[in-house]
Structure 1
Amino acid sequence: MPDRTQRTVRDLRRGNRSALLRHLYFEGPLSRLELGRDTGLSAGSVSNVVGELIADGLVERAGVADSDGGRPRILLKVAAGYGHLVGVDVGETRVRVGLFDLDLTELAVTEHLLSDGGRDVDHVVRLVADGLRSVTADAGIEPATVLGVGVGVPGIVEQGWDSAVVHAQTIGWDAVPLGRLLRAGTRLPLYIENGAKTLGQAEMWFGAGRGARDAVIALIGSGVGACVVADGKPYRGATSSAGEWGHTTMRVGGRRCRCGARGCLEAYVGAASLLQRWRGAPAGMGEEAALAALSERAGHDQEAAALLDETAEYLGAGIADLVNLFNPERIVLGGWAGLLLGPRLLPAVRTAAAEYALRQPGRHASIELGQLGTDAVTVGAATLPLAHFLDSGGRAPSAAGNSAARTVRWA
């Protein structure tokens, strides 16, 4: 018969360790006294857990703080060099792989452009595997120090019992067993999520969403997606498809969307659709360069300016739908296209959102640009293994064992 008392004590210690590590990570450097005050743990519990974390190499000294009499207080922080994280952004225009320390400082990165919109799954899997090899070699680290690999992808991610399956209708991925395909190339812990949701977690933790409890983080790139955060937690829905904002209907019988339906928001504000509607688009130019050219041209070309004005109104109306449905306190516009066009469009977007939204929730919702740049999906992907690491109290994933004994291979 299992010892329930022993299990309860072990779970309590694990919970205390996780709580202290998470608080120190986001709020540190802090002293033991501040950790106890902030977490509500006793001085004895804080001393024991901190001692464990220091012995494990997870926590280190970060200086000394002056005190009002008595001994100076030693400040502590999470050791950035304890391990590494990999974030992968599988987009429609590129695959980007970044290697980070625990402070999410980027140590190495590799990027490969895609010419087919990311439709060839096998090619994408090869690029991810190549990127994993490249970033660890470039940074001069052993793969065994990597705590996990996070991958942000377009479409709906269905988390199965042993793998993640991706449904990305706009690029022709129908129930692609991406988790299984990627696991063939590495034994590292692997975490796969929709790219907009990884962007949302990054902006909520470190960027424009920080401090908000109810927010929507919008990703505007080739397509359009969103991460809905309710009471501090991402809202996923019954089958993890919540946040497919780009496929809400803006105009009945309107433009054909890449998903096959008509009148989707993405068909009016996504970069791919926007460039299709620009009659003056330069031939043979990549999406990002072409969208930059459209933004520049709008300063002296009436057709380009009118197209962006129309886009701002559609985007504002789409944001008004978010305001009316979810009553967020903050809407953050991110993604490479959102940040490229945002400085020009934001005033008109705010005006349109105010016109289309109900006044009461509209008054309480701010619309901001993301703060983490165009590569925030990569950072967000790296937060997937980071979140697991913090939740586990800094324990190595069970499949990998401790970092010194971890067996790792790249395909």
Structure 2
Amino acid sequence: MTMTSTGPTVDPDQQALGEPWWLTVRSARRVLVMASTITSAKRLWDVAGLLHGDTRVQLEFTVPPSVFNGGTAQMLAARGVPVLPWERAAAQRFDLAVTTTFEHMDEVNAPVAVFSPGAGRDSIGRPGRGRDSLSAGMPVPAAVALGHERELTLLEQDCPEALPVADVVGDPCYDRITAGVGLRDRYRAALGLAPGHKMVVVTSTWHQNSLLGSAAEVVERLSRELRAGYRVALLMHPNIWAAHGSYQMRAWYGSWIARGVVLVPPEADWQPILAAADFVIGDHGAVTLYASALGVPVLLGSFPADDVEPEGAAAVLGRIAPRIVPDIPLAEQLERAAAEFDAAAMARVADLITSEPGGFARHARRLLYRLLGLGQPEAPAWLSPARPPARLDALRSAA
């Protein structure tokens, strides 16, 4: 009796490339999304979204090694993403890889497009500025996607060999935040804010010169001084959560939580929470810069002036935003900031984030399809506004 196999026929060329033979839809191109941290994963989610709906493109996600990658694979899995182990990803061939860092760029078998992870001059690492830098001897990526035209001049100064592959595409967070300004009331209702509530959003980047690292007493004061009529939410950079863990955050800041401060968990979408703010208190980090596009007062709880680029957006913000001071009640400082708020000056800060406002989807999709060697879909590229957030009480219990 002759047995006939009913299993799939494996294409030897496909198998040699490491392509999964078991897939039902065989796409023309494979794109590797290198999400090394939660911050990177959120940024690249917008990039990957520009390829949605095109069955010619198979998206695959991996989490490269990083001291800050804790929780990244879990966040992707919660969104239905099967995560390809890094060792397998590095052993396979892809038609394109997208990332927000130069680290591990030379370890993948694919042309690499590097997108900036946030706002400001230092969003793309520069030579000699740490592990995210494009250092001597490292291959130049296939593309470097920038947010603002002025960054081309900076790139020419710092890394001229990358200038021919640089492309100004704009900033997805800026576009999504500004698109959501009209949804502010909807976001506030979703958060559970009453009409009379004043929402104070505190934002801290990571490292010891951040607000949380150098001026945590600001949040302590907010938790004690702002009670009736105020709600306080703390947006901490995901690297803080990854480095210390949610247990330690609750252990250190349990008294803040008990007084009503909401420690927004790292996997939550911070953009609609920021858009719901009446006041933002921050530092030199990207989220504070994005707040400049909201048309609300921005105050600085800390600001390491010596650690920011003198002509960058953060430096401009540092010159116009009022500082939190220790000897005046915080409610009084917030009221003064509102009374003296200069919307035009703050808008000039926002102008330094992107020179292509509203254009990220269009420009970034053009770049991606050029690198893939495919024609773009007929439907226009777009970024949807952020979805309404969970209630503050739910976010508070999730942290």
TM norm. shorter chain > 0.5: no
More strand by share: 1
TM-score of the superposed pair, with normalisation by structure 1: 0.29
Normalization by structure 2: what TM-score? Answer: 0.30
